[in-house]
Chains A and B, each alone.
Chain A
Amino acid sequence: MEVKNNVFYELRSRLYASAAAGCSLIAEDFRLKRALEAFQPMSEANKVFGKLYAMCDSLVKSADPAAEIIDCIALADALAVTQGSFADGSETAPVPSNGIAMPCRLSYNELEEYKEKLRKVPYTDVDFDKRFYEVISDPRLLSAFLEISGRNSTGVADLLVQIGSVFGENFYHLLFNTLDLSDKNATGNQIRYISSVTRERFNDRYREYAENESTPEGIRIASIEAMRYSAANEESLFNIYSISKGKVKSAALLSLAALNSAHTETVVAKAAAKPKITDFDLLCASGSKAAEEFARSELGFCYDNLGKEELSTHPFLTRRFSSFCLLGNKKNVNDVFEKWAARPLQAAQLSGSRHEGYIKINEPLINNLFDYDDPGFRDMIRTLHSRYPEVFAPSAFLLALIEEPENACSKICSDHMAHDLSAIHFIRRIFSTRDGWYRIRRAYCTTVEDFMNIKLFRSVPGDMLRFLSDTSVIYSEKELEKKFPDVAERAAAENIMKQRCICFRDLLSWCTDEDRERIRTAAEEYAWAMSSRYPCEELMNLLPEVTDKPLDGIVYSYVMFIKDKKRHGYLYYYVEDNGIPEEVIVSDLKKVLVSLETESPDGYAELKTTIKRILEKHGIKE
C-alpha cells in the first residue's frame, strides 16, 4: 500500500514545497510537473485522486496559482489522512512492574508545583515538604524526577538519597531500567548512588556497562568506579585498563588500586618514583607497599621541612591536596600518624588551625570508614586514639557514632576544649532520611561525587542532646578573658558556644517529627542560658526559633553585646528576620538608644543611626 501510494505522497510534498517557495512560477516547477505525471495513472483508479489530479493540473496552468494551491493542498491533506495507517508491527515486550509507581490524587496545581520544584532542583536550593515524599510515587512526578536524576547537582544527589530511602530495593532496579543509554552525555550518577548504598550487589550490571564499549562514557566510568567494591572484578578491570584510553583507563586504574590489585604495582611504583600531580588520586587509593612507602617518605619530608622553602614548592602541598590523604587505604602506617600526633602543632602548621589540623590528620582514617568495610581500619583508629586521644578524637568520635551512638559524646568528649569542636563538626554532618534513619555523610552535603553515608540511629540519642545543651561551656566575656588568657584558646571556647547554637538549628532542620520536641527543649534550655551571658548573633538566630517564652530584652542584650564589636552592619539582619515580635524590637531598641545616650552622648554614631533607621521602618520617628 505504502509503495503504491508513494507517487501520491510525492505529489503532496511537491505541493508543499511549491507553496513554501512561492507559486508565482509554478508553471516552471518541473519537479511538481514530474510528480503530477507520475500520479496520473493512480488518479485514474480513484475518483478523489482523479479530482486531485485535475485540480493540480489546473494549478500548474493557472494564471493565479496562489489562489488555487490552498484547495489542492487541503484535498491532498485530507487524502493523506484518509490513507493513514495506524498499526505498529514492531517487536515488543512488556515492561515488568517496578513496584514503585502508584498513582496519587493530585490537583493539577499541586502537580505542577512539585514538577516546577523538580525542574529547579539542578539549579538552586529547593525545599520539598513531607507530602512530596508521599506522592513522589505518582508516575507523573516519578518520571519528572527520573528525567533529572542524572544531573550534576547537590540538590539532585540529595533527592536520590532521600527518595532511595523511601523506596529501597525497587528504586535501584528502576534507576537501572531508566538509564538513558542513548544519551552520550549521561553522567551515570545514578550508578554512583546505587553503588554507594549497595556496594557490590549489582556487580553484574556494573560489569555489563563497563565492559561494553558502546555504553555512554559517563555511565561506563561510573560503572568502573562501582566495580571497586568486588575483588572478583580484578581481571575485568585490568582488561579494561589495558585496552582503554583517557578517563576510562584512569577510572579502571583507580578501581584496581582501591582493590589493592597486583596489576597496579608497577604503575604505582612508577608513580611513587617520579610523582606527578595527576598521580595523587592513585597514590591515595592504593594500599600497595610502594604507595605505603611513598606516603611515609612524603609525610616524612613534610615533617622535616615544615616552614622551609622546599615545602612551598612541593607538588602535593598546594591548596588542592592534603598530604595526609596519601595515608588512605593503608594499614601499616600507624608510625606516620603517631609521629605527627606526638607533635600535634606540626599538623596544625600544615593546615592553619589546630582544630583544622586534627581534622586533616584524621581525614584518611575517616575516609577509610566510609570507603572500606574493613575491621582493620576500625582497629587502627582505636589504637591511635588510645595513644593520642586529643589528636584522633574526630575519627574516634565518628567510629563511636557508628558503633555505639548512644554513648558517643560522653565517651569521646570528656574534655570540652579539645573535643567539642570535633564532635559538633560531625554532628552537623548528620541528616535524616525519609525512612526514619539518621545517617552521617562524609561532608556537610551529599554530592554527585560522593553519595556515601552511614546509617546511625533512628532517634537522636539523649547523650548527644545532653552534650549539646551542656551549659557548663557557657561563659560571659569577662569570664572568658579570665579563664582563657590565651587568645587562641579563648576564640576556641567562644566558637564552641556558638557552634552549639548552629548545631541545634541544623538538628531542628533535619530531625524527624518524633524527635523535634526533645531537641527543641534541649535547644531552648541552652539558648536561654546563653542569652544571659553571651548573647551573640548565633543565639539571635536560635532563640526565637525554639522558645515560646516572651523575648523581651533579647534585642537589648544583643545590641549591648555587640556595641563595641564593630558588627553593626549585620544588626538589621539579626534583629529583623528572626521572628522576634515587633513590639520587642521597638521597645528594646528604644531602651538601647537611651542607654547609649547616657553612656556616651557623642559616641556610637553609626550604631545609633542604624537603630534609628530600624525604628523608622516600624513607624517610630524621633
Chain B
Amino acid sequence: MADARIITDEFISSNAVNSSALSNAKKVSNSGGFRKLCKSADETLIFGDCYGSGSKPYNASVDFSGDTPVFRCSCPSRQIPCKHCLALMYDWTAGKDFAVEEIPEDIARKREKIEKRAEKAASGESTEKAPSKPNKSAAAKKLQKQREGLDLAGSFVHDLLANGIGSVNKAACSQYSTLAKQLGDYYLPEPQAIMNEIIGAVSKLSENPDDSEANNIIALCVRLGSTIKKSRAYIDQKLESGEVLPEDSILYEEMGGIWKLSQLKELGLFRENAEILQLSFTRIDNELRKEFVDEGYWIDLAAGDILRTENIRPYKAVKYIKTDDAKFDLYTVKELCIYPGTINRRIRWEEAESRPAETKDFAQVLSKAESISSAVKNAKNELKNTLSRPYAAVLINFDSIEYTGDGHGVVKCGDETIALREFNDYPGSCSALRLISGVLSGGALLGGLFYDAQQHSFSFSPFSVVTENEIIRL
C-alpha cells in the first residue's frame, strides 16, 4: 500500500488535469489557503480544510489506501483532482505541519466500501457489469441514419463543386453551417468537422482570395467527397450483408465512430505485452474543429512501427479532460489496442508499467529506422489515399544534417537526401535541429513526410532525433 510519502512535484503534475490547475493550486498553497492540515497515523491519507469562495471550508483529501490515489473534495469543481487536492499535496511537499488525526468518518465509510468491493472481486464475484451484448438492430438503424446524413453532406459537396467556391457568399455560408449542424443528428461527426472546416476556409477565402488556399479547400472537398462515396459503399455493403457491427476499417472512424477498447479487442486489434517508447509529443490547437489534440508518436520496440496517441480535448470540455504530456519512460503495455489503418495507427491502453529508457532501448529504436527512400515509398502508399492524414510520421536514418546557402536544412544518409521543412504542429523544430546539428554524428530522425504539391516533391519535418544515448525532442 502506498502512502503520502510518494508525493513529489512530478507526482502532482502528472495527476493535474492541466497546467492552470497546477498554478491555481500553487497560489492556494502559497497563500496558506489550508487552515487545517491533517494526516492519518499511517500517512495513507492526508486531508485538510481549505477556505475558498464558499461560506464553509472545503474538505479536501488524498487517499492512498487503494491501488490508485483517490482525490476527494467538497468543492463544486468538476476537475479531479481539483486545485484544493493539488494544493494539499503542494503543502505536503513544502514540508508544512500535518497533525495526526483520526480518519474522518465519511472517508472511513468510503474506504470500507472500496475494500468490500475489492474482497468481492478477489473471491471471484465480479463487481463489474458483464459486457453488454452489441445491439445489432440499433447498429443497423444507426447505419441507415448515417446513410441519410451522407446524402446531405454529398449535396453540399456537389453544390460547392458545381457552382464554385467563389459563389459561396455569407448567406450561403450560414445555410451550409445549418446543414453542417444537422449532420450531428446523423451520427457523422467527422464529415461534419470537415464540412465546418470547408465553410470556415471558404468564408476566410472570400476576405483574402488566395490560390493555394483555394486548392486546400478543393482538397478538403475531395476528401469529404471520397469519404462520402466510400462510406456509402461501406454502409450499403454492411446493411446488405447484415454484418452491421464495426469492423477493421478506417471508415468507421472517418465517419466519426469512436472505438471502444473492448471493440478493438474483439476484432483482435491489440498486441500483448508491447514495449513502447514515446519519440515525440506536441499539442495541436485546432481552431476550426475547436479542440486541442495532445499528440504523441511512439515506437513499438519489437514491431518497429510508429504509432500515435491522441488525447482530444474539445474547447468546451477542456477544463475537465486531463492534458497529456511528454513521456520519457519505456512502457510495457499489457494489452495495446491499435486502431485500424496502415501506418501511424492510433493506440490506446488501460494498464501499463514503466521504467526509465536505457541505452539498449535507444539502440533498439535505431535498429528500426529505415532509409529515406524506403520511408518515402511507404509514405507514398499511405498519402495517395485521399482519406490519409496530411503526412506520414516515419523514422529515418541519417548521417548528417547540412545547410544550404538559403538556410534550409538537408538530411543526408548515404547517397540519399531530403529537404527539411517547418511544420506548424512542431513550431521551431527546424531551428532547434539546426542548433544541435553540429554535434550530431548520425542516428535517426522521427518526423513527418509531406508531399509538397507546388514543388512536386517530398520534404521532411523533424519531430525528434534519436541517438545512441537519448531522444532529443524538437
Contacts and interface: CB of A to CB of B under 8 A. Distances in A.
A108 B438 contact: no
B456 A9 contact: yes
A139 B283 contact: no
B157 A90 contact: no
Interface in B360-414: 372-373, 376, 380, 383-386, 400-408, 410, 412
B157 A70 contact: yes
B435 interface: yes
A143 interface: yes
Interface stretch (B105-113, B117-125, B211-219): B211-219
A21 B217 CA distance: 12
Scoring A9, A86, A90, A113 by chain B CB atoms within 10 A of each residue's CB, the highest score goes to A86
Nearest to B22: A109
Contact of B403 (A65, A84, A93): A93
Question: Among the interface residues B221, B222, B376, B385, which one has the most CB atoms of the partner chain A within 10 A?
Answer: B222
Centre residue among B161, B418, B474 by max chain A CB count within 10 A: B161
B436 A139 contact: yes
A22 B435 contact: no
Given A92-B410, A108-B282, A142 B372 contact: no
Given A70-B229, A87-B416, A94-B438, A143 B384 contact: no
A95 B328 contact: no
Interface in B414-443: 416-419, 428-429, 431-439
B436 A74 contact: no
A22 B161 contact: yes
Interface in A116-136: none
Contact of B222 (A77, A93, A182): A77
A16 B434 CA distance: 36
Contacts of A19: 161, 164, 218, 221
A83 B380 CA distance: 9
A414 interface: no
Given A20-B165, A101-B436, A88 B417 contact: yes
Given A80-B451, A80-B453, A96-B438, A107 B13 contact: yes
A22 B166 contact: yes
Contacts of B215: 16, 20
B434 A95 contact: yes
Contacts, number: 181
Interface string A1-27: 010010001000000100111111000
Contacts of B167: 22
Contact of B162 (A66, A87, A96, A100): A66
Contacts of B281: 108
Interface in A429-458: none
Contacts of A80: 451, 453, 456
B9 to A, nearest CB: 11
Given A78-B384, A139-B474, A20 B218 contact: yes
B161 A109 contact: no
B326 A5 contact: no
Given A139-B474, A146-B431, A73 B164 contact: no
Nearest to A102: B436
Contacts of B458: 84-86
Contacts of B372: 86
Interface of B: 13, 19, 22, 157-159, 161-167, 214-215, 217-219, 221-222, 225-226, 229, 281-283, 323, 325-326, 328, 372-373, 376, 380, 383-386, 400-408, 410, 412, 416-419, 428-429, 431-439, 451, 453, 456-459, 470, 472-474
26 contacts: A2-B456, A9-B456, A22-B161, A66-B162, A70-B157, A70-B225, A71-B229, A73-B219, A73-B222, A74-B222, A78-B384, A78-B385, A84-B451, A84-B456, A88-B410, A88-B417, A95-B403, A95-B434, A95-B438, A98-B435, A108-B326, A109-B22, A139-B472, A140-B429, A143-B435, A182-B407
Given A2-B456, A70-B225, A142-B435, 19 more contacts: A21-B164, A24-B162, A74-B226, A81-B380, A84-B380, A86-B458, A88-B417, A88-B418, A92-B403, A92-B412, A101-B436, A103-B436, A103-B473, A112-B19, A140-B429, A140-B432, A143-B434, A147-B431, A182-B407
Give 7 nearest A-B pairs by CB, closest first: A22-B164, A97-B438, A92-B402, A70-B225, A78-B384, A143-B431, A66-B162
Interface of A: 2, 5, 9, 16, 19-24, 65-67, 69-71, 73-74, 77-98, 100-101, 103, 105-109, 111-113, 139-140, 142-144, 146-147, 182
